[in-house]
Amino acid sequence: MKLTPHTLYKILLEIFRNQNWWPIDRIYHKKNGSDPRFEMIVGAILTQNTAWSNVEKALTNLKSKNILDIKKLVDIDIVNLQNMIKPSGFFNQKAKRLKNFALYLHNNYHDSLGTFFNRELYAIREELLSLSGIGKETADSILLYAGNLPIFVVDAYTKRICERLPLYTNISYNKIQHYFEDELSQIYSKEELTQVYNELHALIVILAKNHCKKKPECSTCPLKKHCMFKKCLKQ
């Protein structure tokens, strides 16, 4: 069987099952009447250059003070914000990015994520990329998970797996994204694509964390029979 984005998705889904990303605290948002999409946005910014376990600590601090809200992030003193998100690392930069993003939503969209996301996908993407500290991976994570819009997120794990298998030899962000989207958009409807992109990205992360690590554990990898990298290790 030839390995393609679609066959990769089917194999990983059968092995790891649905991951149901993005992880959010629904009980917190129900209790406080807050928008869970904003937690996803905050998480996407906090996870830059750090492990998710560190992000969870920062989010717990924000929730303990009931700060996961656009207007409250606008109003909070930046030093207090820096202290709360310190576990995520680079907290001075990230505090500015969070404040700037919240202020942008407050000034331009009156704190309404519904208004912000209810537009053409690539218009929103271009706008996100114009904001300080928002790169392609962060923008696309916000679009896919918070906006529930069909765009494939490429991260370091995706690039690693594409290079090692090899699934696709050009490891630029845009080329990999187009490679995945070109095939999958021909197989799934627009209504299905968001969920497929969501699950596939999550499944790739699970594969990379459990098997295709920087120092790979090929013997237990479900893709070992497809992987050229493993064959090269034997030589």
Q: What is the pLDDT of residue 171?
A: 84
Residue range 185-210, pLDDT digits in tens: 999 998 899 999 999 999 999 999 99
CATH 1.10.340.30 fits 34-146, yes or no: yes
Residue range 61-74, pLDDT digits in tens: 999 999 999 999 99
Ordered by start, the domain boundaries in the chain are 5-20+152-234, 34-146
Average pLDDT taken over every residue of the chain: 94
The model's confidence at residue 232, banded by pLDDT at 50, 70 and 90, is low
Fold of the domain spanning 5-20+152-234: Endonuclease Iii, domain 2 (1.10.1670)
**What is the pTM for the complete model shown?**
0.94
Size of the chain, expressed as the number of residues it contains: 235
Q: What is the pLDDT of residue 235?
A: 47
Q: What is the pLDDT of residue 2?
A: 81
